[in-house]
Amino acid sequence: MATMTADVVLIGAGIMSATLGTVLKELEPSLNVVMFETLADCAQESSDAWNNAGTGHAANCELNYTPQRADGSVDISKALEVNTEFDISRQLWAHLVTKGAIPDPRAFLHPCPHMSFVWGAENVAFLRKRFEEMSAHHCYHGMEYSDDHAQIAAWAPLTMEGRDPQQAVAATRIITGADVDYGSLTHLLVAQLAAQTGFAVHYRHEVTGLARGADGRWSVTVKDLAGHAEEVMQARFVFIGAGGGALRLLQKSAIPEARGYGGFPVSGIWLRCDDDAVSARHHAKVYGKAAEGSPPMSVPHLDTRIIGGKRSLLFGPYAGFSSKFLKHGSYLDLIETIEPGNVLPMLAVARDDWRLSEYLIGQVLQTSGHQFAALQDFYPRAMRDEWRTAVAGQRVQVIKRDPAHTGTLEFGTELVVSADKSLLALLGASPGASTAAFIAMEVLQRCFAGQIAAGGAWHERLKAMIPTYGIDLKLDADACRTSRASTAKVLQLDFV
């Protein structure tokens, strides 16, 4: 069995590994970085353009980030966190465009207004309160609100045509949003990495083992799926960014920090319209309210998508259950990740999160007629023959032990790092792709703190790449506006 060495091993060839690899090579070009991917190309799972909604998640329109408090007020703290995390992605992308590593931002990024849309008096009152809270903050400068049918029709014609003129409706809009083709972006990032010395990507290579040696290095056992030969890569740092496959690899590492983690898979279905006459009349990502108990990725939305230069519409997703952890995975994935350390947390979630189970059962039992009726809530005159179903990417929600040693279901992303900082795994789902650059910053803080600290070898390079690093854009209005103005110009996005 051949043995090779690397400074960094990236497991998985999706947007997260591509982003972290890019950041590390920008900070230390001499690093020897190797990427392994089970499939035949990068971005074939959740990063693929048709496996996600392509929303540049800046918490402009996603109502699940702004819960209503018991007193009726709206909490926007989580929205502000996500909103400014997306600024880090914008800065990284602008840096790469400016230096020529990404030739044209329109290859993966298009301006697209982000809207929230609700109906019913109670929901209208909620959206008005939400708008009042958000528009008062500098991070949401330029947000508009309307409960006028004609104004909303001007913003998003399809949502209002055929609607009862007496129905109470409301919408917010912010034109600085974006539609992002994360599949194309991943390909662009991997391509510019592959053009550098000290980087290699190996497709059709499956990581089958992880073992830490006495010297602190990791032995990464890899199987060549074409020739079936095995080899071992010795690495100083391992990043597990394999999407739904990350949990099983984390368990293989046997680090104590992995104990208690489990996963709950959620599948999804889209309705997709490629009819030019329809898609040309809708230019927005329009998000509604989620059903009670549903996971965040199941918030209904009617989206403009621009993929390969072609404009389409996407609606959904309709959630469901599959025991697969990956779209190209195995039905045994869920069973194979159950181990003594996570049995109790998983049973606790099954007991306590009954609303999610009830919701998923209802979604699975839905007929195509029920699914299309949900679309018509957003687009009353939708015609069935203009839409077809498409399978979304598989998502795995994180289950972790809580302080009482039972279990909780987490709806975001989770970083699990070894005590010696030599291995880190990314678990979870939305809004991962949009905040990949921010997550990369977290990886640096967790595992390379000395290098990025003031006076460290990477500090100045990091500030050149992410100019607002170390600045809280939620508090510094001038820095926020300056950053957004400069990145909008480079990335060809709208700015107000």
Rounded to an integer, the average pLDDT of 359-372 is 63
Q: Is 2's pLDDT higher than 70?
A: no
Rounded to an integer, the average pLDDT of 12-35 is 97
Task: Quote the percentage of the chain above a pLDDT of 90.
Answer: 72
Q: Is 351's pLDDT higher than 60?
A: yes
Q: What is the pTM of this model?
A: 0.93
Counting Cα atoms < 13 Å in the Cβ hemisphere of 157 gives 7
CA-to-CA separations, 91 to 37, 87, 329, 438, in angstroms, rounded: 27, 6, 34, 10
Q: Is 218's pLDDT higher than 80?
A: yes
Least confident stretch, 8-22, 78-92, 229-243, 319-333: 319-333
pLDDT band of residue 368 (cuts 50, 70, 90) is: low
Structural domain that includes position 121: 2-441
CA-to-CA separations, 131 to 74, 113, 134, in angstroms, rounded: 9, 16, 5
pLDDT for the residue 5: 93
Residues 6+ positions from 142 with CB-CB distance below 8 Å: 174, 175, 176, 496
pLDDT for the residue 340: 80
Q: Is 403's pLDDT higher than 80?
A: no
- Is 459 inside a domain boundary? no
- Is 447 inside a domain boundary? no
- Is 474 inside a domain boundary? no
Cβ density class 390-421: b for 16+ within 10 Å, e for less? bebbbbbbbbbbeeeebbbbbebbeebbbeee
Angle between helices 182-194 and 77-98 (to 10 degrees): 40
- Is 496 inside a domain boundary? no
pLDDT for the residue 262: 86
pLDDT digits (tens, 9 = 90+) for 36-74: 999 999 999 989 999 888 998 999 999 989 999 999 899
Rounded to an integer, the average pLDDT of 196-220 is 96
- Is 472 inside a domain boundary? no
pLDDT band of residue 291 (cuts 50, 70, 90) is: low
pLDDT band of residue 19 (cuts 50, 70, 90) is: very high
Q: Is 225's pLDDT higher than 90?
A: yes
Q: How many folded domains does the chain comprise?
A: 1
pLDDT for the residue 354: 55
- CATH number of the domain to which 30 belongs: 3.50.50.60
Distance of CA 71 to the CA centre of its chain: 31
pLDDT band of residue 211 (cuts 50, 70, 90) is: very high
Residue 98 and residue 157 in contact, taking contact as beta carbons nearer than 8 Å = no
Q: Is 298's pLDDT higher than 60?
A: no
pLDDT for the residue 222: 96
pLDDT for the residue 295: 52
Least confident stretch, 169-183, 203-217, 370-384, 450-464: 370-384
pLDDT digits (tens, 9 = 90+) for 239-266: 999 888 999 999 999 999 999 888 888 7
Residue 112 and residue 312 in contact, taking contact as beta carbons nearer than 8 Å = no
Rounded to an integer, the average pLDDT of 73-87 is 96
- Is 465 inside a domain boundary? no
Rounded to an integer, the average pLDDT of 344-356 is 66
pLDDT for the residue 366: 60
pLDDT band of residue 367 (cuts 50, 70, 90) is: low
pLDDT digits (tens, 9 = 90+) for 41-51: 999 998 999 98
Q: Is 437's pLDDT higher than 90?
A: yes
Q: What is the mean pLDDT of the chain?
A: 91
pLDDT band of residue 360 (cuts 50, 70, 90) is: low
- Is 453 inside a domain boundary? no
pLDDT for the residue 324: 86
- Is 339 inside a domain boundary? yes
Q: What angle do CA 166, 171, 176 make, to 5 degrees?
A: 155
